[in-house]
Amino acid sequence: MLTPGQILRLLYIQRVLIRHGFDEIVFSLNLFRRVRFLQYLLPWNWFVGNRLPRASRLRIVLEQLGPIYIKLGQLLSTRRDLLPDDVIVEFARLQDHVAPFPGQIAIQIIEQALGSKINDIFLQFDEVPLASASIAQVHTARLKDGRDMIVKVVRPSIEKIIRRDLGLMHIIAEMAENYSAQMQRLKPADVVREFEKTLLDELDLMREAANASQLRRNFSDSTLLYVPQVEWRYSARNVMVMERISGVPVGDIQGLKNAGIDLKWLAEAGVEVFFTQVFRDSFFHADMHPGNIFVRPGTATEAPRIVVVDFGIMSSLSEFDKRYLAENFIAFLNKDYQKVAELHVQSGWVPAGTRVDEFESAIRTVCEPLFDRPISEISFGALLLRLFQTAGRFNMVIMPQLLLLQKTLVNIEGLGRELYPDLNIWTTARPVLEKWMSDRTGVRGLFKGTLENLPYWLDRLPGFPGKMMDLVDKISDGRFQFEWNQEELRKLRLEIRDGNRRNILSIIGAAMLIGCFIIAGLQLNPDAFTEQGLLAPLLGLSGVFLLFISSRR
């Protein structure tokens, strides 16, 4: 049931839509469907030749509806899998600039959140905001110890406004899905739910502060990236105090040159930092547009460094996501489209019944044009987008974290090539990809996985004999039953066909490897390996060798 406020808001939205030539959307609603013929009687529909393009009119509609709808447009600008390119380009132009609220109100919010008077916290506080957006605004301040800080304050009553508009968006999304089959494909209800989560997360500045703290810890020893420090003593859900940084905006090319920054180094460092976040840490800044990136010039004792701000939108990838990306990128580099298709089917990203040859042909069709140019000019972002678009035709569901990755990758690439047009993304990113693959495959990956899982295995080892005896008892008494579905039977037949030899060798190899660690753990004499204790290393090497042989097909 719509509230009176929502009804008034809905009428205003309809008026804005009609004003910009989207009458068909309004008259498609159940409320106006009986008088749909009026759409053709409206005078402004008689002459449509001078109208702006559809995408431009959509952008203007969102700007007139206010900051919450502007943020929705910004989110949609990342959904190249859903919207046409002309709409994406226009939505990317949306700017989140909102009139500031009075500094005295900001002071009241800070004092209430922190339980102290403003003068007891800061030596100096600037009531005029440094920047203002739809969710929060930023002030500059100085702590009692002389450190310069920025203070981010959530707008008063913004949560009530957001929830009102979100409720209306859910209603509009449900109506839109009944509007046409095309709108059903765009899944507006799912988009609104994703937008709701993103928006409500941005209201919690403690979450943003935790994101910043995690990223700072990940790059604590880095000579390439600097993350400002959060002042936890003076941070709350609606207030965040963070170190104020100084630097040249990355979009100020002339300013970077004047500061003596090597643009080639900067472009390559930005790509390396991003791929390190993705593949080493599985935690990346997903809003790396030029407004959030600065460069701190070097000094006599310190090299220049990239500095990032605004940690409201972060994302992470699972081990599965990273392997999917790395193996697909390498397969694409080798133009092995069959491998790409097989990876998708094997991993379950597309339905199991998908024909590999058809999927391979579709991937080749859209990706071959990308390779008709020097490797340095091929875009990672464009490649990932083509992959998503192709897989979407085969009912692949794109995960939100991969969409954020693709959007951020496009930003990083565009910025990098603006700084240094001859930037070779592949040369810069490939060492990070190959190192990650090396760490998770081969002998190194085997040892790392064994070490990580050894405590779990040892914890379950005491109960293993008892479970084996229970299994034997059930089999001997005829109480043991198997429940297999058709897919499992097919896999079983394949395993049997591949041969019992691999199974036996892998069991022996794993047993030797576990025995190696148990013996090594029981040896108290650190010199035992050089005297009589050669059994453990021999068992370990033999186990690794047998596991390697058993993995060969």
SS3 for 307? strand
Question: Which is it for strands 148-154 and 136-143: parallel, antiparallel or unpaired?
Answer: antiparallel
Catalytically annotated residue among 287, 357, 372, 477: 287
Confirm whether 459 is a catalytic residue.
no
Q: Which amino acid is at 217?
A: R
DSSP calls for 347-402? HTSS-TT--HHHHHHHHHHHHGGGGSS-GGG--HHHHHHHHHHHHHHTTPPPPHHH
Burial class (CB in 10 A: 0-12, 13-18, 19+), 497: exposed
Return the exposure string of 61-95: e unless at least 16 CB atoms fall within 10 Å of the residue's CB, then b.
Answer: bbbbbebbbbbbbbbbbbbbbbbeeebbebbbebe
SS3 for 189? helix
Please tell me the distance from the alpha carbon of residue 205 to that of residue 336, in angstroms, as a whole number. 45
Q: Which candidate, 406, 513, 512, 528, places its Cα nearest to that of 453?
A: 513
User: How far is Cα of residue 345 from the mean position of the Cα atoms in its chain?
Assistant: 23
- How many C-beta atoms surround the C-beta of residue 146 within 10 A? 8
Q: What DSSP element (H or E) covers 333? A: helix 319-333
**Active-site residue list:** 287
